[in-house]
Copies of this chain bind each other. A is one copy, B any other.
Amino acid sequence: MSKNVNRVWRLETRPEGTADENNLKLIEEPLAEPGEGELLLRVVYLSLDPTNRIWMSDMDQYMEPVQIGAPMRGLIAGQVVKSNTSRFSEGELVMGAGHWADYMITDGKGLSSLGKPGAVPLAEIFGMCAVVGPTAYFGLLDICDPKPGETVVVTAAAGGVGSVVGQIAKMKGARAVGIAGSNEKCKWIKDECGYDAAINYKSEDVGAMLDRYCPEGVDVLFENVGGWIMDEVLARMNNFSRMALCGLISQYNAKEPVPGPYNFQQILMHRIKVQGFIASDYAKDYPKAIGELSSWMREGKLKFRLDIDKGLENALTSLNKLYDGSNQGKLMIEVSEVAG
């Protein structure tokens, strides 16, 4: 790649179903210069998250969708190449909302510093702290408040968020039952993350396995998926149980309207609390969460698996691993290497 060229994934058309290269195009463009008060960042890591697909659509959503023609939005870790502001210096590492691109120009608003190269293990800290850790932390602790001995069920349990949820649930003395899409994933969440039980929804009878592993019913559901799996869990939720609604990945690619859970009335019958949330609702409490998550990581209490693909050009193919469940842990693209 020439020094004066930038590659940018731009949203050309809104996907119907799975996003493909008719929807997002990787375009070579001249690299601009940052203006007064602006930074030029080189993207080092691009986080790929289920919510990316939501941003491509024009459905009613929690922030503005990406506009047609605009660079695709993503959370990034980047390195400052040139700074026209005193807030950030050249070579500094930062993270925040950015673009699917080699470079981006920004006024730095909303970016957090990760210090000089080598100050922190960048991929791990970015993978955990950009969105996964706070999502798991606030969704589980603030919304569901699991008590010792309660049973917590987690869907997409081997994903970035799900694997952290189970581990925090265990630290709080609850039982953790995970639902994931392969035997390898099930083994990993049991052996490494400490889940008490794991269900492979692709090969096992989810209802029967929930009956086996949740003999006293379900007190907490951390929901990332939706659809028939959510219905199986809803059918087993206890009175006064809680559901943190974190994601509905099973339906982001849907072309037709998707019905809500057939067991919706369980919410009434069992007086369940269902609460939708996104991590950034808790932005003011991030320092507490990140402090605690980082401590757990340092102490080895929080296992975490990164699934890092290389090359910006692979971002779209890689993203779609989330929707067929073929990723293994927190998915991101290594766009470039840290310099210096």
* Residues in chain A within 8 A of chain B (CB atoms): 54, 59-62, 226, 235, 239, 245-248, 251, 257-278, 281
How distant is A136 from chain B, measured CB to nearest CB, in Å?
16
When distances are taken between beta carbons in the complex, the residues of chain B under 8 Å from A59 are: 265, 269
When distances are taken between beta carbons in the complex, the residues of chain B under 8 Å from A276 are: 266-273
When distances are taken between beta carbons in the complex, the residues of chain B under 8 Å from A273 are: 273-276
When distances are taken between beta carbons in the complex, the residues of chain B under 8 Å from A62 are: 239, 268-271
- Give A264 to B248 CA distance when docked, in angstroms: 10
When distances are taken between beta carbons in the complex, the residues of chain B under 8 Å from A281 are: 271
- Give A98 to B275 CA distance when docked, in angstroms: 36
Decide: A262 near B270, CB < 8 A? Known: A60-B235, A239-B62: no
Copies in the complex: 2
User: Known contacts A269-B276, A271-B277, A274-B274; can you find 16 more A-B pairs with CB under 8 A?
Assistant: A59-B265, A59-B269, A60-B235, A62-B269, A62-B270, A226-B265, A245-B267, A245-B268, A248-B265, A251-B265, A257-B262, A258-B264, A260-B261, A260-B263, A268-B278, A273-B275
Interchain CB contact under 8 A, A248 and B262:
no
How distant is A104 from chain B, measured CB to nearest CB, in Å?
26
- Give A264 to B234 CA distance when docked, in angstroms: 14
When distances are taken between beta carbons in the complex, the residues of chain B under 8 Å from A245 are: 267-268
Nearest B residue (CB) for A223:
B268
When distances are taken between beta carbons in the complex, the residues of chain B under 8 Å from A268 are: 62, 245-248, 276-278
How distant is A275 from chain B, measured CB to nearest CB, in Å?
5
How distant is A127 from chain B, measured CB to nearest CB, in Å?
23
Interchain CB contact under 8 A, A260 and B271:
no
Interchain CB contact under 8 A, B60 and A266:
yes
Q: Which 3 A-B pairs have the closest CB atoms?
A: A260-B260, A260-B264, A259-B259
